Amino acid sequence: MLTYGLVIAAYIILRILLAGGHVSSALQGQLVPITAYIVMAVSLNLTVGVLGELSLGHAGFMSVGAFTGVITSASLTSSVPEPALRLLFALIAGGIAAGLFGFLIGIPVLRLHGDYLAIVTLAFGEIIKNVVNTLYVGIGQSGLKIGMTSGNALNLGEGGKVILNGPMGAIGVQKISSFTAGFILILVTLFIILNLIDSRAGRAIMAVRDNKIAAESVGISVWRYRMTAFVTSAALAGAAGALYALNYSTVIARKFDFNTSILVLVFVVLGGMGNIRGSIIAATVLTILPEVLRAFNNVRMLIYAVILILVMLATNNVRLRAWFQRIRPGNGKTPVISGGGDGHE
């Protein structure tokens, strides 16, 4: 409840500030990306914190969602003129496509554990990036066409339009994402993930994280619940990707590379594994921080790194943690789930 309240309050405050013209244009441009990154962080937390497996390819699912969203939006331009509705379709399509990829990639990946799983997700993230780089998608009179050589080879005919132009990425994307849409997507993500955690399936996922052998011994199908978490996580990343992509007029596959995966992982680790609220705060702060530090110009990323290290040190300080424990409200149910330390045996 506190988590929902936090998000809604932040939204209302920003709305008021925006109406009063108190938000700089640089920050205004960051609003949609921030919401997309929050959804990315929260969804990755399902894999990393709740399932207890390190995924280094989360940006790959974002990429699948992003380009599916762009293609969906472009092909619906005439049939669904209302941008908000088109965005909704694009988000759903991006989510479904990424969920499907999550399932397919999950089949080999979820046979592995720990470090090996992390490395293979990294590889799949890179594979997705490179495959998208070679894809040409266009829309013409005979509908959607896909090729791998060049935009002209698609033979779109009169009035045809290339949506995805290989390494050039998607060009001429209609910017239909909005801060409000991002805000709603965050709420939907929170609703799905918090409810999932606090249900029969969520308990099963955490049981698998804590002790795989014990989970099997009480009749829980390990494969099934690992897949449930992985696919849910991928689908939400896909929706975030669609939201992100439809905020820019040009989107390239290289945007969703290993660095983006690591960036989102940093949000999760910094916010606390399994701590959903922490992910939201970390994603927000760390997306704004480079903008705020722009004044420092050359040493900007250095200061960013130093701040990261300091926060890591501070949050791992025993005394400081004890202090946080003390100021935390009573025995109220918090969505804080400690990370699965001794999960994989």
> What is the SS3 assignment for 1?
coil
Closest approach, Cβ 265 to other proteins, in A, equals 21
Beta-ladder partners of 138:
145, 162
Closest approach, Cβ 222 to other proteins, in A, equals 8
**Helix ranges (DSSP H) in 46-149:** 58-75, 83-109, 114-133
> What is the SS3 assignment for 147?
strand
Q: How far apart are CA 337 and CA 339, in angstroms?
A: 6
Tokens 């099997």: give the residue. 216
Q: How far apart are CA 105 and CA 99, in angstroms?
A: 10
Closest approach, Cβ 306 to other proteins, in A, equals 32
Q: How far apart are CA 152 and CA 149, in angstroms?
A: 9
The residue (of 20 and 332) whose beta carbon lies closer to other proteins is: 332
The residue (of 108 and 341) whose beta carbon lies closer to other proteins is: 341
Closest approach, Cβ 312 to other proteins, in A, equals 21
What is the b/e burial string over 64-99, where b = at least 16 CB atoms within 10 angstroms of the residue's CB? bbbbbbbbbbbbbeeebeebeebbbbbbbbbbbbbb
Closest approach, Cβ 191 to other proteins, in A, equals 8
Closest approach, Cβ 315 to other proteins, in A, equals 18
Closest approach, Cβ 156 to other proteins, in A, equals 40
Residues in the chain: 345
The residue (of 74 and 337) whose beta carbon lies closer to other proteins is: 337
The residue (of 61 and 225) whose beta carbon lies closer to other proteins is: 225
The residue (of 133 and 211) whose beta carbon lies closer to other proteins is: 211
DSSP H or E segment with residue 322: helix 318-327
Closest approach, Cβ 334 to other proteins, in A, equals 12
The residue (of 213 and 318) whose beta carbon lies closer to other proteins is: 213
What DSSP letter does each residue of 160-208 carry, written as one string? -EEEEEGGG-B-S------HHHHHHHHHHHHHHHHHHHTSHHHHHHHHH
The residue (of 69 and 340) whose beta carbon lies closer to other proteins is: 340
The residue (of 158 and 342) whose beta carbon lies closer to other proteins is: 342
Binding site for other proteins (CB under 8 A): 192, 195-196, 199-204, 206-207, 210-211, 213-222, 228, 331, 337-342
The residue (of 228 and 284) whose beta carbon lies closer to other proteins is: 228
Residue 37 near residue 264, CB atoms below 8 Å: yes
**Tokens for 84?**
């908000």
> What is the SS3 assignment for 52?
coil
The bridge status of strand 161-165 relative to strand 143-147 is unpaired
CA-only gyration radius of the chain, Å: 21
Q: How far apart are CA 103 and CA 290, in angstroms?
A: 35
